[in-house]
Structure 1
Amino acid sequence: MIKGILFDLDGTLLDHRAAADAGITAWVSARAPGHPRLGEAAGLWAALEGPHLQAWHAGECSWAEQRRRRVRALCQELALETPGDLDAAFAAFAEHYRDGWTAFPDAADAVAALDGFRLGVLTNGSQEIQEAKVRAIGLGGRVGPVLTGEVLDGCYKPVPACYTGAADALGLAPGEVLLVGDDVANDVTGPATAGMRSVWLDRLGVETAPPGFPRITTLTDLPPLLTRP
């Protein structure tokens, strides 16, 4: 019986992609007005995100260093002068990014409809920043604890210990918890390795769910799914 719900954050409750796309476009535009490849900046930045975050998760570099690497790589790709202070450069992007933090329209109502379940957020980001995001989108105190690898003994999705640790944080067994998220590896197939159930949130509605996993295209469909026999 499902007693707890874990939400992914970026791409599930918060529209991370829209905020990041707008943020990096504004950053490049400020550094190089009229840049001929401005329209490509968002896609290039998105492609850099995963590999460098994974390097941080693996302990290959610090949180700050993965940020520096991303800025450096983007500048090289766009033939922009590499900033002398990469930390300040990323901070400038982060200001634009924070301006775009917005909850998906279906998030608040879906959370409210899950009264009676133990709730939590399981995310691979930085603890401080992810907690700030939850507050910024109006869900502070409503979605339970925000759980990252920084509070789960260095375990990040899709490492099985990440899911078992998150279940423990809710005071539940993995089999009593359902994870809802948009990333197939981290939020759908990953939880199964720890005996946790999952639902894939495919907001674009254009892909096929992995066999055996339920798929929804909006969080509005989550509460009814949980009440089905």
Structure 2
Amino acid sequence: MTARPMPGVKGVLFDLDGTLFDHRGAADAAIIAWVTAHSPGHPRLDEVPALWAGLEAVYLAMWQAGECSAQEQRRRRLRALCQELAVPAPGDLDAAYADFGERYRQGWIAYPDAAGAVAELGGFALGVLTNGVLPMQEAKVRTIGLADLVGPVLTGEVLGGHFKPSPASYTGAAAALGLAPEQVLLVGDDVINDVTGPAATGMRSVWLDRLGVEPPPAGFPRITSLTELPRLLR
């Protein structure tokens, strides 16, 4: 669906990973480097990024559901990857994950279209709505140079334990901006969390389709770059 102007929008919420921040690029490079260091010449190295991304989705969901702590889901995720690759799991999983984490942080960058697009939205209440761990997500926003532009970083940890796509995450995030859900636009790359999920609360949404690999959600506007967003809102 072609994106059309959206009158009445007073606030914009951005997803972070995959929208403002190139999470996949940083995570893929980091886990390849980690496996290479711990199991040189592993024959399944090309599969590692996809395996890690799949495990990330599974174990982050466990943490968000309250089944384990953030640190424990990291341990479980790393242990599961080692099991899948048939390599010994490190004795100190926390230290091993910290090693991965340091490699991950070295790749933190904003998408090239992020800063300029956000800077053009003067006059709108802005915020970030993300399902990641709060301290890490705040650190990402600072590192990629957007901390003075995008407003508060809102996660389930500050929204009463409600993560996307829980309706309470969207209503809580809108309230944090001092707005009603129908006055807010959510921009993100995840069809469920960022596009169809907000609709249940009256919040509007735009799908950021950077990769063009998923079928578009019916009835929702789509953009391919954040550079299209200011024009949509003016």
User: CA deviation digits over 1:48-102, x for unaligned, max 9?
Assistant: 0111101100001111111011000000011111111111111110000000001
**How many angstroms does 1:209 deviate by?**
2.0
User: CA deviation digits over 1:9-51, x for unaligned, max 9?
Assistant: 0000000000000000000000011111111111110110111
Given residue 200 of structure 2, which amino acid in structure 1 is its aligned partner? T
Gaps of 5+ in 2: 1-7
Partner Cα separation in structure 1 for residue 213 and residue 56 of structure 2? 23
Gaps of 5+ in 1: none
Aligned pairs for 1:76-225 within 5 A = 76-225=83-232
Runs of 4+ in 1 over 4 A off after TM superposition: none
Matched, 1:68 2:75: yes
Given residue 139 of structure 1, which amino acid in structure 2 is its aligned partner? L
**How many angstroms does 1:154 deviate by?**
0.4
* TM-align CA RMSD: 0.7
The match for 1:11 is 18
The match for 2:5 is none
Partner Cα separation in structure 1 for residue 156 and residue 136 of structure 2? 13
Partner Cα separation in structure 1 for residue 233 and residue 212 of structure 2? 20
Q: What is the TM-score with the length of structure 1 in the denominator?
A: 0.98
Partner Cα separation in structure 2 for residue 211 and residue 70 of structure 1? 34
Corresponding pairs, count: 227
Q: What is the TM-score with the length of structure 2 in the denominator?
A: 0.96
Q: Name the % identity.
A: 72
Given residue 99 of structure 1, which amino acid in structure 2 is its aligned partner? Q
Given residue 171 of structure 1, which amino acid in structure 2 is its aligned partner? G
Matched, 1:51 2:58: yes
